[in-house]
Structure 1
């Protein structure tokens, strides 16, 4: 199908940040003396802050004040990101190809918009995107499709006429529910078994995913 635009998740898909977030979470749990929290962070991936807060508060179970833990965790993240934010493999090549084709691109992320714009700028790819839609701009976060409808609308089009790229299960579910042609490129979490029945495309990397849905041709890629 001809695509009118392309919609992208950010963390774990464009930016190689999820491992950093996990490392900083583990660092915070050590500092706060919480040895049983190691797997909690993986349940937060792809979720908006409000949904993640519910999970994290329950896991903390009153042992540590939530705002204090959250600030300690994010202080480590800010310090790490100030040193630079790496891109996932294939991202610069794909964005350049899409720009050369004249396809408008937008970001649809659970991160708040100003923070997302800052991170994209630090990573050097903000100019490739016409718009950035953050999680606070919609009523329902991922896995609801709201953010993909909003991101497509910000480009003046419908999600069903766009390709969408995600890494997490909640994000891929959101993109697929919006009607966008969805590619999931898993990062640190393997797709759940039920995700493989969804009907979207699961790819080992972003460039191969783009080829699999006909967004780019093999001949366009030069290494």
Structure 2
């Protein structure tokens, strides 16, 4: 593989956060007597919060007080997050290997910069990324390819020489449509048929990425 850069998603790939988000979104709905089931939540994975909130409003209509929903969701998530968010297995070794090989690395996330800084607090990983793209940097979030195109441009490396690592179908579509190679490491979602057909690989964990790059 002629790869010069690796572009990382964050939630569900580097950090074990998707489960926390799901519980908080579902709690906020149930607090208003509404049911946000697992199937509906799965459509949020890899999507910016503003779009997810639009979908919630479309589903529940006048039954939902959106501002109250956001307050409850955010409060619950911040409480859970304060107890610590774990890195997914294999990230530390993979990131170290990429740096040793001289490959550039970018973080490309649907989360806001404040969330990024909080998750990486206490480590020096964030400062080692050659580019950081967050939800504030693009108008059209994943599954649109804008974020990965922007990362490629900032790194000054052609998309075809970039390897995207994602846990979500929307993120995979964004990376593939940007012209990058893309590998899915599923978290709460398995690859959809269209993603499985186009993916460079579907791996069990981040530790398998090093072996793929060495192949």
TM-score, normalization by structure 1 = 0.88
Q: 1:153 to 1:117 in 2, by over 3 A?
A: farther
Corresponding residue number in structure 2 for 1:86: 86
Q: What is the distance in 2 between the residues matched to 1:47 and 1:94? A: 25
How far does the alpha carbon of each residue in 1:101-140 deviate from its partner, in whole angstroms, 9 at most, with x for none?
A: 2212110111122322332235663233122101221122
Superposition RMSD in Å: 1.8
Corresponding residue number in structure 1 for 2:36: 37
TM-score, normalization by structure 2 = 0.91
Corresponding residue number in structure 2 for 1:65: 65
- State the SS of the aligned residue for 1:188: coil
Q: Gapped runs of 5+ residues in structure 2?
A: none
Q: What is the distance in 1 between the residues matched to 2:89 and 2:175? A: 21
- State the SS of the aligned residue for 2:121: helix
Q: 1:83 to 1:124 in 2, by over 3 A?
A: farther
Q: Gapped runs of 5+ residues in structure 1?
A: 218-223
Q: What is the distance in 2 between the residues matched to 1:25 and 1:135? A: 19
Runs of 4 or more, structure 1, over 6 Å off, are none
Q: What is the distance in 2 between the residues matched to 1:158 and 1:209? A: 20
Corresponding residue number in structure 1 for 2:103: 103
